[in-house]
Structure 1
């Protein structure tokens, strides 16, 4: 038996669900409704067509490889963060490594002050969207004024005919300090729980996946005490170490990018999906290969300096087994 035949036989029932913060995926056009001034051809960053096309091509390469080692195929579902609009996602799925994957795009504009949103890519052959909506996260700053942040994208659909709810998040940043801003991420966690309760009131057996850049680690209060309660499981908790994470800040690894799911993904049921394993996609081609920051994500910009990489975050993924 050839290794190829063995490979196909062994893994065709495994499917990858991923999440990837794409690091400021802006187009090159000036949008008066977003703070995109840093990402224009005449800005200090010199964000032009050539750089944009190089970035989406690189992201397409990265995405096509997430989970490929075991499944031999690109993710069936990928949540994304830091995208300016739907058009950049439509450009992304037309790149060389994704164009034949038949990806659909779900995106809603959100009121984030930077003009960045979350979105969902899905392979139409495997996943069918039933409904999608944008759920606002209402937080105030220290002056009592609304702090405009990313909405939660709630997508309901069928994965190989099994209904699944997916919540894609990008929680408020730590820019003004982790402790000072932690209350904002707790509000975001509580909003996810509201949606989860809304879903399970109608269907106690509903299968739910919550993913995103939470700007908090698996052991942070927002995740551990507000989001992941008795009915959910966070496989990312085991992956975060001193030596590994999804982003590196001041030589410390964080694992802000996580995929969490309802406990019923641990059950084996025929024609349903069950959890197999989770991982960080941190292959060497996504890393800085030498120098002081060796091993960190190979990013597009470091400060204002163009580096020409992929993203300042590594993607994360889980394998689901279709029984």
Structure 2
């Protein structure tokens, strides 16, 4: 169980950066401006206060443990997707296993029709926000009508006093078919590329982290051909196998959840951060433990059936070494 991670040893110079799709973290109140009817007490899913609070505690448990065994601390930055509003994030950061970490929140409401957003959580003792903004993702559907999807969240801040840019994404889904919708994710990749170019024109050595649920794998056209160029590195490429990924559909693993970063993290400089390692956080307590779907992410619902798990995605993370001055 998750508690096995909580033992006391000296903290290291490693800092974990994570991304986690929280799978429909909705509150129980009706928002007339969004399509949240599936997540109300009166819905067929019977999404009520008890179930909501249970999910909040479970997600807090998972987040607090990401990368803990190697760094001896909870992640300093956590990008999240599929959150309904600021209130659910506020409930999450004061939950049982996160309260002591004092996470700050960067969140904006997006135009997504379902009302789901991305956000960034950060431990205030390690990270200071300098600036934040959202970048609209303008894509049309097949008949030329705008598809209202999640904005890109761009946060600039100081991690242990080093300036870092973070882009948090949740790209358009594959719901209408992977091939039919691939152009939307290419547009999303190109918009991230524009931001990267804008940053590096000012500072070619800028530290940039791009994270999110891309709804595409590391070798998909959007990621491989339109986003990752000579100045970016995708450590997730080596993690996807037939037996491992972050989400599973029809017995096939995908690694839609990725963290990509600038090659400047490969440089060793005192007082700066450099790349150490990357992984999928797929510990057993986050998995279905028996039956046909054994080993898959232990999700909250299977269709309309409540099973009380965490999420239908595993988190991913990278770890940075802080090369102290002394």
Give the structure-1-normalised TM-score. Answer: 0.97
- Distance (whole Å) between structure 2 residues aligned to residue 318 and residue 135 of structure 1: 24
SS of equivalent to 2:242? coil
* Alignment partner, residue 205 of structure 1: 205
* Alignment partner, residue 34 of structure 1: 34
- Distance (whole Å) between structure 2 residues aligned to residue 301 and residue 253 of structure 1: 19
- Write out per-residue CA displacement over residues 261-310 of structure 1, whole angstroms, 9 at most, x where no aligned residue: 00010000001000000000000000000000000000001111101000
- Write out per-residue CA displacement over residues 15-50 of structure 1, whole angstroms, 9 at most, x where no aligned residue: 100000000000001111111100001111100000
Following TM superposition, by how much is the alpha carbon of 1:71 offset from its aligned partner in structure 2, in angstroms?
1.1
* Alignment partner, residue 149 of structure 2: 149
* Alignment partner, residue 132 of structure 1: 132
* Alignment partner, residue 238 of structure 2: 238
2:65 aligned with 1:86, yes or no? no
Q: RMSD of the alignment, in Å?
A: 0.9
- Write out per-residue CA displacement over residues 122-145 of structure 1, whole angstroms, 9 at most, x where no aligned residue: 000000000110110000000000
SS of equivalent to 2:236? helix
- Distance (whole Å) between structure 1 residues aligned to residue 250 and residue 52 of structure 2: 27
Report runs of 4+ in structure 1 exceeding 2 Å deviation: none
- Distance (whole Å) between structure 2 residues aligned to residue 281 and residue 240 of structure 1: 13
In structure 2, stretches of 5+ residues that fail to align are: 1-6
Following TM superposition, by how much is the alpha carbon of 1:100 offset from its aligned partner in structure 2, in angstroms?
0.3
SS of equivalent to 1:24? strand
For these two proteins, the number of residue pairs brought into alignment is: 317
SS of equivalent to 2:122? strand
- Distance (whole Å) between structure 2 residues aligned to residue 96 and residue 196 of structure 1: 37
* Alignment partner, residue 71 of structure 1: 71
Following TM superposition, by how much is the alpha carbon of 1:205 offset from its aligned partner in structure 2, in angstroms?
1.3
In structure 1, stretches of 5+ residues that fail to align are: none
SS of equivalent to 1:237? helix
* Alignment partner, residue 173 of structure 1: 173
Give the structure-2-normalised TM-score. Answer: 0.96
